[in-house]
Amino acid sequence: MKKMAVLASGSGSNLQALIDRVHEKEGMIAVVISNKKNAYALKRAKKADIPAIYADRSQVATDEAYDTDILKILHAYAVDVIVLAGYLRILTPVLTEAYANRIINIHPSLIPSFCGDGYYGMHVHQAVYDRGVKITGATVHFVDSGVDTGPIIMQRAVCLTGNEQPEEIAAKVLEIEHELLVESVTLVLNDQIEIVQKRTIRK
């Protein structure tokens, strides 16, 4: 079985979906790493007897040094695939080059809409609300050197009436994120996704 590392900064509901539906089934979550000491994601990992590590950014001088420390952890756990599940840091080339085409991210909009610099968490759903779009959703994609620019693996839509507040939009999208991430990670772990230039195809 391939080994995963899940990087998370927040509550970890996407991590929980992977623990419940992928871990020890399609692959192994070898380690969970967070840049936030009190991230509930770390508690979810410990509850599942998965190694949980808080990596303190204040202990190192640069983002590159921080990612080098993360890379040492990934090598120590023989990680094959990295999953970013609500990880609120931008990866440096230290990680994106070492794990080229092996880093998966979930973004709570239909890329290329409402993504890129500044579009994370509730900022995404506020922008969706403000624009008044009637379809939003989630995207799972490979991570490259840009922000939310890597090849798309899967997307799933959520229809809106226009009556939802941003918080309700977030809840509706989060619900389909869990299923989308589980399906996407399963495809990658089973080597069923091929990257052709900037696109993905099913093998």
Residues with catalytic roles: 107
The residue (of 116 and 201) whose beta carbon lies closer to ligand GRF is 116
Of the pair 15, 74, the CB lying nearest ligand GRF is at 15
What contacts 24+ positions apart, CB below 8 Å, involve 71-76? Answer: 71/95, 71/98, 73/5, 73/31, 73/33, 74/5, 74/31, 74/98, 74/99
Q: Which CB atom, from 31 or from 85, has the smaller least distance to ligand GRF?
A: 85
- Binding-site ranges for ligand GRF (CB under 6 A): 8, 10-15, 85-86, 106-108, 121, 174, 177
Comparing CA positions, the residue from 64, 51, 55 lying closest to residue 96 is: 64
Q: Using the structure block, give the residue that is written with the tokens 């990295």.
A: 82
Judged on CB neighbours under 10 Å (0-12, 13-18, 19+), 159 is exposed
- Residue number closest to ligand GRF, CB atom: 86
Q: How far is the CB of 14 from ligand GRF (least distance, A)?
A: 3
